């Protein structure tokens, strides 16, 4: 552990003492809500490969090799 002196409560308390910036992955509604209250947000439009179908994703992965 790089900084054994840091206590979890002390580290958590310091998280919100500085401005927050967010990278939002997936649901754009979360980014919209944060923007509405003035939080800087970068939204990444992402969805699981093959729409979340594990069998189809495995087949697609085989095509890439």
Residue 1 banded pLDDT, cuts 50, 70, 90: very low
pLDDT number for residue 38: 94
Segment 47-56, tens digit of pLDDT: 888 989 999 9
pLDDT number for residue 53: 94
Alpha-carbon 51 to chain mean position? 19
Segment 6-34, tens digit of pLDDT: 555 566 777 778 888 899 998 999 999 99
Q: Which residues neighbour 31 within 8 Å (Cβ) at sequence distance 6 or greater?
A: 22, 24, 41, 43
Q: What is the DSSP string of 30-53?
A: HHHHHHHTT--EEEE----GGGG-
């Amino acid at each position: 552990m790089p900084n054994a002196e840091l206590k979890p409560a002390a580290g958590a308390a310091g998280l919100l003492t500085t401005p927050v910036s967010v990278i939002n992955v997936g649901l754009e509604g979360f980014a919209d809500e944060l923007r509405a209250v003035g939080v800087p947000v970068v939204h990444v439009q992402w969805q699981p490969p093959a729409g979340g179908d594990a069998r189809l994703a495995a087949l697609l992965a085989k095509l890439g090799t």
